[in-house]
């Protein structure tokens, strides 16, 4: 039953994206498209999977100013866990290979999202720095998975610098979104997914910081995220 739920949830993704594609074509590169699409994908996916997502700290997500959101990345199913948490006017960062996914890739591109080749780290950082212009000029927020790859339930991995360069260059706060460690193979009654708890931490201000402060900022954020993820995992294990 759990496998059927998973298959249906992912079959819904291209269907919803196909419908959304028409709206994206009407207002291409409008960053608020991403928030609306993320909301529908997450709610539909969790509904099919039978997954509950307890949320703490929703009030900490900035709504009236740009922010750089960083979140831990465990599985592709994070789309269903976190997709409805994007603040207004948010663009995300993803692998350039996403462009080839039917319908999802096209709406991802038309949403004005940043597509990078993470194998070229210097290029990735440069693209992040270009993105800071959009944060400052167009008042967009940026959502990044700074681990750069899925942890598959192994806990928080090493963070990459790109998101922190973007935040410091734009003098925008960093908002951390932490999901407890989960196993996407664990099933409950009738194959329903186990709950995944999420906590949004208060923004960390970067005003006045320079590139020299980035290593300390990265360590501060990583420590806070690791402690929060461990706490959420213990509470809901």
pLDDT of 130: 65
SS3 of residue 22 by DSSP: helix
d(CA 171, CA 165): 10
Nearest to 193 by CA among 56, 42, 28: 42
pLDDT, tens only, 153-165: 888 999 998 889 8
d(CA 137, CA 129): 13
pLDDT of 197: 96
Nearest to 20 by CA among 44, 1, 2: 44
Query: What average pLDDT does range 44-54 have in this prediction?
Result: 96
Class of domain 2-236: alpha beta
Query: What average pLDDT does range 160-188 have in this prediction?
Result: 90
128 pLDDT tier (thresholds 50, 70, 90)? low
SS3 of residue 108 by DSSP: helix
Residues 6 or more apart in contact with residue 65 via CB below 8 angstroms: 139, 172, 173
Domain boundaries along the sequence of the chain: 2-236
CA angle, 148 then 153 then 159, to 5°: 30
pTM reported for the whole predicted model? 0.91
101 pLDDT tier (thresholds 50, 70, 90)? confident
């Amino acid at each position: 039953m759990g496998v059927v739920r998973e298959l249906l949830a992912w079959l819904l993704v291209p269907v919803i994206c196909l419908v959304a594609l028409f709206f994206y074509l009407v207002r291409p590169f409008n960053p608020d498209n991403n928030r609306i699409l993320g909301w529908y994908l997450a709610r539909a996916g969790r509904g099919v999977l039978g997954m509950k997502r307890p949320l703490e700290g929703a009030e900490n997500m900035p709504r009236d100013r740009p922010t750089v959101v960083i979140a831990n990345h465990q599985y592709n199913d994070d789309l269903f866990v976190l997709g409805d948490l994007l603040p207004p006017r948010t663009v995300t960062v993803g692998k350039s290979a996403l462009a080839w996914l039917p319908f999802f890739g096209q709406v991802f591109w038309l949403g004005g999202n940043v597509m990078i080749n993470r194998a070229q780290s210097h290029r990735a950082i440069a693209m992040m720095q270009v993105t800071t212009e959009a944060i400052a000029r167009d008042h967009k927020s940026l959502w990044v998975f700074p681990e750069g790859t899925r942890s598959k339930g192994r806990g928080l991995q090493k963070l990459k610098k790109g998101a922190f360069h973007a935040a410091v260059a734009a003098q925008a706060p960093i908002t951390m979104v932490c999901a407890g460690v989960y196993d996407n193979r664990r099933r409950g009654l009738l194959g329903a997914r186990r709950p995944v708890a999420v906590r949004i931490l208060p923004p960390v201000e970067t005003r006045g910081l320079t590139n020299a402060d980035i290593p300390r900022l990265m360590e501060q954020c990583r420590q806070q995220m690791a402690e929060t993820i461990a706490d959420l995992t213990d509470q809901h294990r």
